[in-house]
Amino acid sequence: MNREYLLEAQKWAKEELEICTNFWLRNGIDKENGGVYTCLDKEGKIYSTDKSVWMQGRCGWIFAHLCHVYGVKEEWLQASKSCLDFMEKYCINRECGDRMYFTVTADGKPLRQRRYCFSEGFYCIANAEYYGVTGDKECLERARKAYKLIYELNHGAADPTGLGAKTIPETRTGRALGNPMIFLNTTAIMRRVDPENKELYDRYSNECIEEIVKYHFKPEIGCTLESVGMDGEFMSDVSAGRVVNPGHDIECSWFLMEEANYQKNEDIHKTAREIFRMAFDKGWDKEYGGLLYFFDCLGNPPEAYEHDMKLWWPHNEIVIASLMAYRDTKEDYFFDCFEKTFEYVKTYFSERTYGEWYGYLRRDGKPTEPACKGSTFKGPFHLPRMLVMMDKLIGEIID
């Protein structure tokens, strides 16, 4: 372990966190309508006023979480509450079983509804975290209700929106890695703030782990698959069945490591580390550096045009997962992965003239033009979460 290197990295993380949070407080918070704008250009100027519901929940969570970790700051708490109030007033489709929209206008008029329930998931953790900081019981009840809805939708309940399946189920159906992995993290947050229902959360966590490991984890082909058949079948004859999203796998790996540590279960931890290794070793771009966005597990041409781009969030997840694995094992491999990624993100993603990170790089590491710091899918979530955890994990490693 290079103690001085880690101390410098921790100092950088703290500085970057302040820059990042101030960027969003200064440029993103909508003081007129409430909530947060996330479509921001390189300088922080708004280039679209449509609002991502995912980002309302994610922003609501991160600013409450900052209060949980570092102590309450009024501007953080106000930013969180603004997003919670905006979601409550505008982002819930009350006529369709409280399913949530995907995007709304600046003043909250609904634009898009999607089948998957990630809007509900981020709404859930935002309310839960806010309750954990403030003790607001109404927020806890909202979180519990959303959590129950997500579980039911993920386990075959009819979608009250009536949108139906994404594909024709009589032709092909299957499982998506995103559902159990995100629900596993949601469950960990709920258990932390709602220990009264610990037994429920423990049971659902184990269900998520079983689904990930039994169906998606494929050590025989050296990867973890995004999509599989209902019984975990490898759909090798279609592009969708061969997709690997290494960033997803690495994020999943630290969710599993956290749960393994909670359960004191070395078998789960070992599987999590293997998921990380497979994703990093195959996903890291040997020519230009950085993690590729997608690859085909059999080496075929990926269907997604953006497959060889470098996105901010997978690199955030590498930093968290590699530090966590190194803290727990002291294996040099994980420290090397951290160091390689840390040097890459400082060089290519971080931008301190205006603050925050570029969201999207070309394969060679240059930002897409015109460059942006936020979008419908990029807001104050992955990066500040990483910086908070980086600060904490390095502190634990040094101690």
Q: What local confidence, expressed as pLDDT, does residue 166 receive?
A: 79
As a whole number, the mean pLDDT across the chain is 97
For residue 143, with 0-12 CB atoms within 10 Å meaning exposed, 13-18 middle and 19 or more buried, which class applies?
A: buried
Residue predicted with more confidence, 228 or 1 = 228
Percent of the chain with pLDDT over 90: 95
- Mean pLDDT across the stretch 119-132? 98
Distance CA 366, CA 333 (A): 28
Cis peptide, bond prior to residue 301, ω within 30 of zero: no
pLDDT confidence bin for 170, thresholds 50/70/90: confident
pLDDT confidence bin for 167, thresholds 50/70/90: confident
- Please give the CATH architecture assigned to the domain spanning 1-164: Alpha/alpha barrel (1.50)
pLDDT confidence bin for 53, thresholds 50/70/90: very high
Q: What local confidence, expressed as pLDDT, does residue 272 receive?
A: 98
Tokens of 171: 């032709």
Domain ranges, ordered by start, for the chain: 1-164, 170-368
394 has pLDDT over 90: yes
279 has pLDDT over 90: yes
Q: What is the CA radius of gyration of the chain?
A: 20
**Could you read off the pLDDT of 110-122 as tens digits, one per residue?**
999 999 899 999 9
Which class is 170-368 in CATH?
A: mainly alpha
Q: What local confidence, expressed as pLDDT, does residue 14 receive?
A: 98
Percent of the chain with pLDDT over 70: 100
357 has pLDDT over 90: yes
**Could you read off the pLDDT of 2-49 as tens digits, one per residue?**
899 999 999 999 999 999 999 999 999 999 999 999 999 999 999 999
pLDDT confidence bin for 60, thresholds 50/70/90: very high
Q: Residue holding tokens 């890459």?
A: 344
**Could you read off the pLDDT of 85-101 as tens digits, one per residue?**
999 999 999 999 999 99
pLDDT confidence bin for 135, thresholds 50/70/90: very high
247 in Cβ contact with 275 (< 8 Å): no
Q: What local confidence, expressed as pLDDT, does residue 168 receive?
A: 83
**Could you read off the pLDDT of 224-237 as tens digits, one per residue?**
999 999 999 999 99
Distance CA 304, CA 365 (A): 19
1 has pLDDT over 80: no
331 has pLDDT over 80: yes
Q: Roughly what angle, to the nearest 10 degrees, separates helices 178-193 and 198-211?
A: 160
Q: Which residues of 330-342 are buried (b: 16+ CB within 10 A; e: fewer)?
A: eeebbbebbeebb
